[in-house]
Amino acid sequence: MSEVILKPVKTPVSGEIHVPGDKSISHRSVMLASLAEGETTVTNFLDGEDCMRTVQAFQEMGVEIKKQNTTLTIQGNGIAGLKEPENPLYFGNSGTTARLMIGLLAGLPLFTTIYGDSSLSKRPMDRVIKPLRQMGAVIDGREKGSFIPLSLRGSKLQGIDYVMPLKSAQVKSAVLLAGLHAEGATKITERTKTRDHTENMLKAFGASIKTEGKQVTITNEKTLVATDVHVPGDISSAAFFIAAALIVPGSKLTLKNVGLNQTRTGIIDVLISMGANIQIRNKQTISGELLGDIIVSYSKLTGTTIGGEIIPRLIDEIPILALIATQAEGTTIIKDAKELRVKETDRIAAVDEVLSTLGATIEPTEDGMKIHGEAKLHGGKATSYHDHRIAMMAAIASLIAEDEVVIDDISSISISYPSFFEDLKKIK
């Protein structure tokens, strides 16, 4: 346990921050570079615990990966260069590693066993397993493969037409990665478009992939070829400092080189609709991903309703959005976000418990919550639930609390933002 005591800050936050590399893109860069032919250099890689689980998995399968600070050099030798791991692959708390690797491993000529920590072992995997079995994957595990540990006997896969029953970029990505090794075309149709980092990166590495609206098709016709990747700053990490600037009176903050992929910028759209003073400058596209600088100033906000198709574009930012909503005038309603119940923890229950403890008025619902605004946060003891996003939300709340906020355990923050408290000190 790693407890921290945070005292209120009565002065505006200001300055400039470079947030760490995007977690989703960092994972995918390692996976595709390891499957490709040739040497890939990945810059601004997020070296948090989750992404390092993906690195370690490929190292155990014989891929040479060298790390210097936040730069990786990956020597890919194609599928033929991968070897069967001698030991079970450990994914820690990383749901992205688990779900995407299940898709990737299902079609490789290898036998693998995967497992994770107690939290990951409770997260549902059947949403990935079901379409993969339709493709011919041979997978076994707890409750008929619903939970890890799992064993995968790599087999010849067949392409399928798959209509996504739920909004999940991880499921879509797992099926696409399986489709890389499948005979025939694999076609995925989404009802609501989810983050498309996997599609962007597959194109960059030369895969035979085509996107038309909410439908994406992949075949095994082309071999992946190494290409250098620059990882933009993670907007999910930037969201915490966007919140700090919005809710601490007099603040102005610049967040440099943040990823602005339109499947991820739902939080900016919602905040602007609430009255936030947010400007985007210096836009550019690198490695197929749009990035730019986000300038945020303290703003008087009004409550809103958040639901429907925008939810996949801000699902990871809902905890910090809930904190922002406690300072907005009126009531904010979050709905259609039942997926929060099966994240690192039940995030609906966790957000309710933490913010209520600190003095906010929250009404949890089955698929979201109602947040009553302009709450005075009095401080108190917050439980992190071993969830990095809950812990960082509580830390930002301490900036406007009347008394100190004690967070019981901040160790989970290293999963996505190892330098979080260093950056927090920079802007106070």
Residues with catalytic annotation?
Answer: 316
Phi, psi of 196 (to 5 degrees): -115, 30
Give 303's strand partners. none
Q: Using omega within 30 degrees of 0 as the cis cutoff, is the peptide bond preceding 149 cis?
A: yes
Rounded to whole angstroms, the Cα distance separating 342 from 124 reads 8
DSSP alpha helix (H) spans, 77-162: 95-106, 126-134, 142-145
Structure tokens belonging to residue 281: 């400058």
Instruction: DSSP for 228-278, please give it.
Output: -EEPPBPHHHHHHHHHHHHHSTT-EEEEEEEE--TTTTHHHHHHHHTT-EE
Give the single-character DSSP code of 213.
Answer: T
How far apart, in Å, do the first and last CA atoms of the chain sit?
Answer: 26
Q: Provide the sign of the torsion angle of the four alpha carbons 241, 394, 270, 236, taken in this order.
A: positive
Rounded to whole angstroms, the Cα distance separating 417 from 46 reads 8
Rounded to whole angstroms, the Cα distance separating 313 from 333 reads 16
